[in-house]
């Protein structure tokens, strides 16, 4: 290897990994380890923050060794599961409590109470977000009011999202968060780019515990020398969905990407305009460079790949996730079976945290293939609902760039094109979240002069054109609307 490589730490919900990229976007290697999911009560999801750190470090160390040592690494980029919140000691760097995961719903009543008191409008005006357990602030408020060790920590307490936690451990003390992750806490005013005093007061969150908000690219600090044999600069960071949008080169106003991972997340670039949604989408920061913010509208589906994992691990309907494609192809249609995957409530545009999943339309003619096909079809159904909401907010999709683990499934990708009646574009290298973090690290280190220059890392794409007859699409959509209405009550 003649050129120095970019190292990415991609800390996700179900696994953490490190990947090594050349400046032209070639992936030189990857190391991945599963993260333990702790379901400590109905609707509760926790991670062990120390496990996140130790496994992320091990993956990074493996890739540094593969590169030939720290001297062969130009910079580190970090991307992470958003909204998950970590509590730790500033002095020791050790976690003080479990990490509360973005999927966790324990604060549904708290959010509902604040909504009933009329606070949602002020939260949305400042943050672009809605009052929902999904976002970090309610998790922080609950933890501060429940876990006595956090109150006892006083000014020693650090609170941050996962990239903030990793950077603190990597650098031995830096407490910083990038603007994309900060924008998902419901504590940051995304118009000013700063923590909002009124929101901190609403949630009773001490500002002393929060990190400094920084750009997504720049020289933030360097790793402690003992971790990799020599310091490596950390030059890029972004939440996973923003990183995926960058990796998909969604750099122009109107560009839209959808990532189908544990959940499904769709972002449309709205440029330098902070556009407030009138149809229960989220306004968020796409990236921040040089203090200037680029915005996006976002629709969030809580259950996507985790639905297939549930069918495999808990219901035993699949031997492996890859089997889902063959089963979907083995039947002519869904046989009237619909699956509404509200396993952790429903996200955009419904925002019903108490909704529960349902499989409808079963008969003796139904097989496991019909149920699995209905699960895959639910991805297109939910995306179609979001497409309508985006259009109502004036953000029409001209095409859709897709990525994430589920999109390796050709049947699913074609079903998206068919049901949306839209061209769907899939990069040959589908790990665009990690790629976006590499692009940011390249910009931050000076390897690239701009995100547009870094976009050459994306590589070739495949295109899927719609083939479904309109009458067949109408039948599908009518069945989905009926199934969804039953769940929404």
Report the C-alpha gap between 77 and 246 in whole angstroms. 13
Other CB atoms closer than 10 Å to residue 60's CB: what's the count? 28
| Helices within 18-161 (DSSP H only) | 49-67, 108-116, 120-127, 136-146, 148-153
Q: What is the largest CA-CA distance in the chain?
A: 64
With contact defined as beta carbons under 8 Å apart, do 130 and 123 qualify? yes
For residue 342, is it within any domain?
no
- Identify the pLDDT of residue 398: 86
Closest C-alpha to 48, from 9, 7, 10, 86: 86
Q: Which domain holds residue 152?
A: 5-241
Other CB atoms closer than 10 Å to residue 111's CB: what's the count? 25
Tokens 């590589």 belong to 459
For residue 448, is it within any domain?
no
With contact defined as beta carbons under 8 Å apart, do 324 and 375 qualify? yes
Closest C-alpha to 355, from 382, 324, 380, 374: 382
Q: What is the DSSP string of 65-81?
A: HHHTSGGGEEEEEEEE-
Residue 360: strand, helix, or coil: strand
For residue 99, is it within any domain?
yes
Phi, psi of 365 (to 5 degrees): -80, -10
Strand pairing report for 461-464 and 256-260: unpaired
Q: The domain that contains 183 carries what CATH number? A: 3.30.420.40
For residue 118, is it within any domain?
yes
Query: pTM for this one?
Result: 0.87
For residue 261, is it within any domain?
no
- Identify the pLDDT of residue 459: 87
With contact defined as beta carbons under 8 Å apart, do 85 and 99 qualify? yes
Other CB atoms closer than 10 Å to residue 189's CB: what's the count? 19
Report the C-alpha gap between 137 and 122 in whole angstroms. 14
Strand (E) or helix (H) holding 233: strand 233-239
For residue 414, is it within any domain?
no
Strand (E) or helix (H) holding 86: strand 85-89
- Residuewise pLDDT in 10s, the chain (489 residues): 457 899 999 999 989 999 999 999 999 999 999 999 999 898 899 999 999 999 999 999 999 999 999 999 999 999 999 999 999 999 999 999 999 999 899 999 999 999 999 999 999 999 999 898 989 999 999 999 999 999 999 999 999 999 999 999 999 999 999 999 999 999 999 989 999 999 999 999 999 999 999 999 999 999 999 999 999 999 999 999 999 999 999 999 989 999 998 889 899 999 997 888 888 899 999 999 999 999 999 998 889 999 999 999 999 999 988 899 999 999 999 999 999 999 988 888 888 878 899 999 999 999 999 999 999 999 999 999 999 999 999 888 988 999 888 999 999 999 999 999 999 999 998 889 999 999 999 999 999 999 999 999 998 999 999 999 999 999 999 999 999 999 998
- Identify the pLDDT of residue 274: 85
Residue 366 zone, left/alpha/beta (φ > 0; ψ -120 to 50; rest) = beta
For residue 462, is it within any domain?
no
Q: 3-state DSSP: the chain helix, strand, coil percent, rounded to 5?
A: 40, 25, 35
Strand pairing report for 292-301 and 264-271: antiparallel
DSSP letter (8 states) at residue 346: B
For residue 299, is it within any domain?
no
With contact defined as beta carbons under 8 Å apart, do 66 and 17 qualify? no
Q: How many domains does the chain have?
A: 1
Residue 121: strand, helix, or coil: helix
């Amino acid at each position: 290897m003649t050129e120095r490589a970019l190292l990415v730490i991609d800390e996700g919900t179900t696994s953490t990994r490190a990947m090594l990229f050349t400046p032209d976007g070639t992936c030189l290697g990857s190391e991945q380890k599963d993260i333990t999911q702790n379901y400590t009560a109905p609707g509760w999801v926790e991670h062990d923050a120390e496990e996140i750190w130790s496994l992320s470090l091990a993956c990074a160390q493996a890739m540094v060794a593969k590169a030939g040592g720290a001297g062969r690494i130009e910079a580190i980029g970090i991307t992470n599961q958003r909204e998950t919140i970590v509590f730790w000691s500033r002095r020791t760097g050790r976690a003080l409590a479990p990490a509360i995961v973005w999927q966790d719903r324990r604060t549904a009543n708290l959010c509902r109470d604040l909504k009933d008191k009329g606070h949602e409008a002020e939260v949305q005006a400042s943050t672009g977000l809605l009052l929902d357990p999904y976002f970090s602030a309610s998790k922080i408020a609950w933890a501060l009011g429940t876990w006595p060790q956090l109150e006892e920590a006083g000014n020693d307490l650090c609170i941050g999202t996962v990239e903030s936690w990793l950077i603190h451990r990597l650098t031995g003390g830096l407490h910083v968060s990038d603007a994309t992750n900060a924008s998902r806490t419901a504590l940051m005013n995304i118009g000013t780019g700063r923590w909002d005093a009124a929101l901190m007061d609403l949630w009773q969150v001490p500002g002393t515990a929060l990190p400094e908000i920084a750009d997504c690219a720049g020289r933030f600090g360097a790793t402690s020398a003992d971790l990799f044999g020599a310091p490596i600069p950390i030059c890029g960071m972004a939440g996973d969905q923003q990183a995926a949008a960058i990796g998909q080169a969604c750099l122009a106003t109107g560009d839209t990407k959808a990532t189908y991972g544990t959940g499904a997340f769709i972002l449309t670039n709205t440029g330098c305009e902070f556009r407030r949604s009138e149809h229960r989408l989220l306004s968020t920061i796409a990236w921040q460079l040089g203090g200037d913010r680029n915005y996006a509208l976002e629709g969030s589906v809580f259950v996507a790949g985790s639905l297939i994992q549930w069918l495999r691990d808990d219901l035993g309907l699949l031997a492996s996730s890859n089997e889902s494609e063959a089963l979907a192809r083995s039947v002519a249609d869904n046989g009237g079976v619909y699956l509404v995957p509200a396993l952790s409530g429903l996200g955009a545009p419904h925002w019903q945290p108490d909704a529960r999943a349902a499989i409808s339309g079963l008969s003796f003619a139904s097989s496991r293939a019909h149920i699995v096909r209905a699960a895959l079809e639910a991805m297109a159904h939910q995306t179609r609902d979001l497409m309508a909401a985006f259009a109502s907010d004036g953000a029409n999709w001209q095409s859709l760039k897709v990525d994430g683990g589920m999109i390796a499934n050709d049947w699913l990708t074609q079903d998206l094109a068919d049901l949306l009646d839209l061209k769907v574009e899939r990069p040959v290298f589908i790990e665009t979240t990690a790629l976006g973090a590499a692009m940011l690290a390249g910009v931050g280190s000076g390897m690239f002069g701009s995100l547009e220059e870094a976009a050459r890392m994306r590589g070739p794409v495949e295109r899927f054109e719609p083939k479904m007859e309109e009458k067949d699409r109408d039948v599908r959509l009518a069945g989905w609307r009926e199934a969804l209405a039953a769940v929404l009550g």
